[in-house]
Amino acid sequence: LRQLESHDFPVHEEGWYSACVQYTQGKPANPQGLRMELNVELKPDIDHRDPDTPVETYRQPINTLNSNIESAHREINYLLARTGRFSKTAQSTYWRVVWCAIVNICVLIGSSWWQVWSLKRLFKEKKLV
């Protein structure tokens, strides 16, 4: 891939910006052959608060946010406990199903053996064998 052009668009105010890109060379661009990179540089050390706004203005939204975070934390802990309990219940049910299947197989084998033994005995008594 080769880089054809590079453009910088410095902005001095925050906000929404739109950019329109048009392919103007030769044939229309193949979507798989067009590569575009967008590099956005942000400076995290800029304080975006208004210095004229009093701290009390931020107190209510922060308190609301803290209570919402605590509520979410309690809900997550509850869901984790429920998940653990559900896992134990599912595992217990799984082993009960396994033991029930083993008992069913044993009963099936036992009843099959008893039928064959009874039929053999019947045929011997009737002297058909």
User: What one-letter code names the amino acid at 47?
Assistant: D
- Rounded to an integer, what distance in angstroms lies between the CA atom of residue 85 and that of residue 80? 9
List CB contacts of 17: < 8 A, sequence separation 6 or more: 9, 11
Q: What integer is the mean pLDDT of 47-52?
A: 65
The verdict on pTM exceeding 0.85 is: no
- 56 — pLDDT class (breaks 50, 70, 90): confident
- 58 — pLDDT class (breaks 50, 70, 90): confident
- Rounded to an integer, what distance in angstroms lies between the CA atom of residue 64 and that of residue 70? 10
